[in-house]
Amino acid sequence: MEKIEVSKYDPPSNSLYLNGLPIYNRTIHVYETDKDGVVHFSNYFKIAEEALYSGLKHFGFSFENNGYSMAMINAQAHYIHPIKFAEQLNVVIAEIKLKRSKLLFTLDFNNNHLVNLAKIQLTFVLIDPQKRKAIPVPEQLKYNLSQTIIDHDKNLTD
């Protein structure tokens, strides 16, 4: 299991943005919080998954009708600052790691001042729906995700 490395105020400067903007903006709803108005830990993972699918869709990825499905096999959270009711989140994909049979996405939850409030890591495998077994990450998907990273890095240096 990979450990999430984070500093207290990890700026999102190395994150994947969509046209220079976070991939997902969201306001925290009251039903996502505990009695003190702080986001319940389970909702971090729900928000991260929403943001990831939204971000991948913006980058042109679709996991529908590809001959495989995605299954989350691990989720980790590193809480830095409490997130409260009515707070605005800007979520970015901070890192994508491609392994032979796993996709690891690290998402940064930032406030409007770009202070990092949490880091969430989601790990997925791709499943063959007929055999119900994990399959290696297809080379085309690895290439597409790598190109997204390369294009983003190129835009940062231009």
- Looking at the structure of the chain, the number of domains it has is 1
E strands within 5-143? 24-27, 69-79, 88-98, 103-110, 116-128, 133-135
Look up the CATH number of the domain holding residue 117.
3.10.129.10
- Token match 């969509």: residue? 18
Band of pLDDT at residue 151, cut at 50, 70 and 90: low
To the question of pTM greater than 0.75 for the whole model, the response is yes
Is residue 130 one of the residues assigned to a domain? Answer: yes
Q: What is the extent of the structural domain holding 110?
A: 12-157
Spatial CA neighbour of 151 closest among 22, 13, 21, 59 = 59
Question: Rounded to an integer, what distance in angstroms lies between the CA atom of residue 158 and that of residue 155?
Answer: 5
Question: Rounded to an integer, what distance in angstroms lies between the CA atom of residue 130 and that of residue 67?
Answer: 9
Is residue 5 one of the residues assigned to a domain? Answer: no
Q: What is the arithmetic mean of pLDDT over 92-96?
A: 88
Q: What is the pLDDT of residues 5-60, one digit of tens each?
A: 544 444 444 455 555 556 899 999 999 999 999 999 999 999 999 999 888 877 77
30: helix, strand or coil:
helix
Is residue 134 one of the residues assigned to a domain? Answer: yes
